[in-house]
Amino acid sequence: MTHTRIAGTGSYLPARVLSNEELSRTVDTSDEWIVSRTGIRQRHVAAEGELTSDLALNAARQALQAAGIEASQLDLIVVATTTPDMIFPSTACILQAKLGARAGAAAFDVQAVCSGFVYALTTADALMRTGDYRHALVVGAEVYSRILDWQDRSTCVLFGDGAGALVLSRSDSPGILGAKLHADGRYTGILSVPGSVRNGKVCGSPFLEMDGNAVFKLAVKVLGELVDETLAAHGMARGELDWLIPHQANIRIIQATARRLGMSMEKVIVTVDRHANTSAASIPLALDLAVRDGRIRRGQSILMQGVGGGFTWGAVLARL
């Protein structure tokens, strides 16, 4: 039977750091409010002209190096993003060219907002098990700074820019153990960027809109259910899980999920303080930061879980 495993990880945060304190000089907020309600201390903002594919490129190069794989060996590139460089072609195709990856390799984007990375990883894993692919690059990359209304304190303090990547390689033993993906389109209105491009004009708001309380409640509910559902599908008990890597949106959502599951926060990876909510990039960013600081080690079990616009939610269970 064909299996896949995570061969290497990488991440990238733009150089420009925007602290809560700096933000409070331009919008009516405070470091105290942001930290106590969200756990966020700072976010990174892409430079003028720095595109999602550029962030993805930096994270991808690091993941390839960690995996010991050349870009020319990639058979598949999947990018999860809600902030693509352009309407088309996909950011994955643009990344393929920037990386100098093999022409003819498959490349496409996945759009599932903050659940995008778990959707992309599940898709890549499924393709590799059935198709003729040896190495895949899976990236989550976002420039949310460009879809935020910087005068709206209820949203602009929450998000940031960044990218995370991993190389998935075919293997004899299981690395990716399984996944659960869900969506409920009835909740489109609680988190969206409603605008669209029509006849040369942007129609509707091009900025992120959110009913924060509704998203909060739904996120805590589905994330709690998701852990049990995914573990049960693989006959694994909560105690056997080494690390939970939740979507990094709000420390209170993460703590509420851990409490609901009776999990110690010592087994939960938290990086939201450093980069705020980077949507599809948040899970691979958290994974890479925890691999590089030595917390997550080879052989350990990890559960990555995403939740966000759509409404979408999903989890991937893996052994590193």
Site residues, ligand UT7 (CB under 6 A): 29, 33, 37-38, 114, 153-154, 157, 191, 210, 212-213, 215-216, 219, 247, 249-250, 253, 277, 308
Which residue, 170 or 247, is less far from ligand UT7 as judged by CB? 247
Residue with the two structure tokens 């039977």: 1
Residue 308: CB minimum distance to ligand UT7, A: 4
Residues 6+ apart with CB under 8 A from 203: 195, 196, 197
Which residue of the set 20, 44, 58, 247 is catalytic? 247
182 in active site: no
Residue 276: CB minimum distance to ligand UT7, A: 10
Angle at 295 between CA 65 and CA 293, to 5 degrees: 50
Which residue of the set 58, 114, 135, 275 is catalytic? 114
The runs of H, that is alpha helices, within 131-250 are 153-156, 212-233
Taking the C-alpha atoms of residue 88 and residue 168, their distance in angstroms, rounded to an integer, is: 25
Residue 8: CB minimum distance to ligand UT7, A: 26
How far, in Å, are 15, 71, 95, 194, 258 from residue 98 at the CA level?
A: 20, 10, 5, 30, 40
247 in active site: yes
Residue 191: CB minimum distance to ligand UT7, A: 6
Which residue, 253 or 258, is less far from ligand UT7 as judged by CB? 253
> What are the phi and psi torsion angles at 260 (to 5°)?
-60, -30
Residue 184: CB minimum distance to ligand UT7, A: 14
How would you classify the pairing of strands 135-143 and 76-80? parallel
> What are the phi and psi torsion angles at 158 (to 5°)?
-95, -20
Residue 79: CB minimum distance to ligand UT7, A: 18
Taking the C-alpha atoms of residue 54 and residue 180, their distance in angstroms, rounded to an integer, is: 30
Residue with the two structure tokens 């259910």: 225
SS3 content of the chain, % helix, strand, coil (to 5): 40, 30, 30
Which residue, 38 or 91, is less far from ligand UT7 as judged by CB? 38
93 in active site: no
- The two three-digit tokens of residue 112, written as one number: 């599932």
Residue with the two structure tokens 């590193």: 320
The closest of 139, 170, 178, 190 to 75, measured between CA atoms, is 170
- The two three-digit tokens of residue 210, written as one number: 């959110």
Residue of minimal Cβ distance to ligand UT7: 212
Taking the C-alpha atoms of residue 134 and residue 156, their distance in angstroms, rounded to an integer, is: 40
Q: Active-site residues: which are they? A: 114, 247, 277
